[in-house]
Amino acid sequence: MDIKSYVPKDSLDYEHINELFTFDDEKIKPILPDLLDVIRYTDWSVTEGVLQVLSMHQKALLPLIDEKLKATYTDTSLKYAIVAYLLPFFDIEGKTDIINELKRIVSSPTKEETDGEVSFAAKELLKDDRIE
């Protein structure tokens, strides 16, 4: 079976969610960008399951998250979903790159990050994690 077939195609595509829970970092790594992209659809019912799967692969996912948060081309709906819905599952303490980027989003957000409420979500996350 093609690994890409495990990525949900629509809001009700739960067909492979349970199988995704059994994947180790190495097996899931090729589809992490696609799974991360799914979480932008916060109104999809399958998104909660995808968030849970992604939260199990923090080490493998952190470089991709860092890249998405730093990129100016990243859709703000994805940045918001990462900050507001995915990172609360993560232990970000000690993750300097992520923390620094969250601080940058709070202190010097782009217009898109302000308009998309990414800066507000980053501020709340840092406050909730008691990170100065």
Is residue 129 over pLDDT 70?
no
Q: Measure CA of the first residue to CA of the last residue in the chain; give whole Å.
A: 46
Q: How many whole angstroms separate alpha carbon 72 and alpha carbon 78?
A: 12
H or E stretch covering 48: helix 47-55
- For the segment 2-9, the average pLDDT, to the nearest whole number, is 94
Over residues 38-43, the mean pLDDT reads 94
Residues 22-38 have pLDDT tens digits of 999 999 999 999 999 99
Phi then psi for residue 39, to 5 deg, are -70, -10
